[in-house]
DNA sequence: GTCTATAAATAGATAGAC
DNA sequence: GTCTATCTATTTATAGAC
């Protein structure tokens, strides 16, 4: 058994991104390291630097892909929620919770200021497409007449969804059945309440 | 100039806790280290270990103090908000945002699972007193008839407040005047909307 | 109680062989 | 394009002098 690394690579760059999602999902952004990603793939810790200039460029590529994946899933879930625009909008809260539980890369990764300077892999475009989609869904509810109203509604919606994820990951929910699925449902319901409050003039 | 450290200590343990707050406020939990805290005080990196068994025991003492400080401020702000129970409850969202902006220790620190095992400095009691206070304020609004309703309302309130803090710290708000004070106001208003939604049956 | 010195991990990143 | 080897920096924590 030659312990020489037997790994063949067709596309190490893509594998590094995928392994990064796995590490983020399991250990979170704080525990992310290029060395761990390399070890997870069985390659040397030097290999990633042939494909990404530094740690932030790898994370930037992950963030860009996360923005695209998240937008795709939100679009699909909103469409599946039916004709009610409020329900379509609220559904994306659940999409967000489930996506971060599975992939580990949420708004903290996608909109990380340290990655803004990097601009790798279409990060700026991915960010904008994601926000445009959500803004359109917020506007379509009809509960935010002006552009500013839609911004406020969208902000509260994202804050609630991310708040659930952040407190869930932080171990805040120790009782009340804290599965990712139940948290996703609670986030969706929180946005429904925000919509009811907006409708009631709150 | 003898570079021998000239520092005298009446109470290094308390100074370490206070310096930890400063570090958390400036750099966040991810960047927290015992070594940095020691350097900020001009003492050797070994000194903290005479007062705290390890990193988690120092952070546990910080978390316990944060829980007490936060509860005190919330109680005061709720009282100052006037007779309306909904306004008193909503005010604590702003309290939370301002407190974390100033002290750096929010729910992520106070309820960190790694600190639960430590049980230093009355952390368990501080956590419970904080949650009891908030539950009472939620119940007093009259918009949550049952105990379970009050839990749900409280959960959404905290999720929104923490979501604002988390996204604010994460650099999500790059426009729309992102000062801590304006974020605090937006968090307070978000809870008002949740109350309106609860009142409207959302 | 505080210091100096040190040990053991771990990470980011680079040089040069193959 | 991947490897081995190495350098530098940082952190957590301990040993032992003062």
Position with higher pLDDT, B201 vs B186: B186
Tell if B12 CB is < 7 Å from nucleic strand C: yes
pLDDT at residue B152 tops 50: yes
Q: Chain A residues with CB inside 8 Å of B202's CB? A: 192-197
pLDDT at B119: 82
Interface test with A, best of B109, B115, B154, B159 (most A CBs within 10 A): B159
Distance CA A80, CA B100 (A): 39
- Whole-model pTM? 0.96
What are B83-136's pLDDT values in tens digits?
999 999 999 999 999 999 999 999 999 999 999 989 878 999 999 999 999 999
Has residue B174 got a pLDDT over 90?
Answer: no
Q: Mind giving me the DSSP string for chain A?
A: ---S-----S-HHHHHHHHHHHHHHHH-GGG--HHHHHHHHT--TTTHHHHSSSHHHHHHHHHHHHHHHHHHHHHHHHHHT-S-HHHHHHHHHHHHHHHHHHH---HHHHT-HHHHTT--TTHHHHHHHHHHHHHHHHHHTSS--SHHHHHHHHHHHHHHHHHHHHHHHTT---SS---HHHHHHHHHHHHHHHHHHHHTT-
DSSP A140-163: HTSS--SHHHHHHHHHHHHHHHHH
Q: How far is CA A65 from the centre of its chain?
A: 9
Residues from chain B that touch A151, judged by Cβ atoms under 8 A, are 176
* pLDDT for res A1: 45
* Average pLDDT value over all residues in chain B: 94
The Cα–Cα gap between B141 and B72 comes to: 20
Q: Is the pLDDT of residue A52 over 80?
A: yes
Over the stretch A106-163, which tens digit does the pLDDT of each residue have?
Answer: 999 999 999 998 987 899 999 999 999 999 999 999 999 999 999 999 999 999 999 9
Share of chain A above pLDDT 90, in %: 87
Q: Do A171 and B111 touch (CB under 8 A)?
A: yes
Give me the pLDDT at residue A4, please. Answer: 55
pLDDT greater at residue B55 or residue B10: B55
Question: Quick check: B155 and A186 in contact, CB under 8 A?
Answer: yes
In chain A, which residue's Cα lies nearest the Cα of B192?
A: A202
């Amino acid at each position: 058994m030659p312990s020489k690394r037997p790994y063949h690579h067709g596309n190490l760059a893509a594998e590094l991104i995928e392994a990064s999602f796995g590490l983020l999902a399991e250990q979170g952004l704080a525990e992310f390291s290029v060395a761990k990603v390399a070890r997870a793939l069985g390659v040397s810790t030097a290999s990633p630097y042939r494909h990404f200039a530094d740690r932030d460029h790898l994370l930037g590529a992950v963030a860009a892909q996360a923005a695209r994946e998240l937008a795709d899933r939100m679009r699909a879930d909103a469409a599946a929620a039916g004709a009610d625009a409020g329900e379509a909008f609220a559904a994306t809260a659940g999409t967000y919770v489930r996506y971060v539980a599975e992939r580990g890369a949420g708004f903290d990764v996608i909109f990380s200021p340290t990655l803004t300077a990097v601009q790798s892999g279409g990060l700026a475009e991915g960010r904008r497409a994601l926000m445009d989609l959500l803004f359109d869904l917020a506007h379509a509810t009809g509960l935010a007449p002006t552009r500013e109203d839609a911004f406020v509604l969208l902000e509260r919606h994202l804050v609630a969804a991310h708040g659930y994820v952040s407190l869930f990951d932080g171990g805040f929910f120790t009782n009340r059945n804290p599965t990712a699925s139940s948290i996703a449902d609670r986030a969706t319901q929180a946005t429904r309440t925000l919509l009811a409050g907006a409708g009631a003039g709150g």
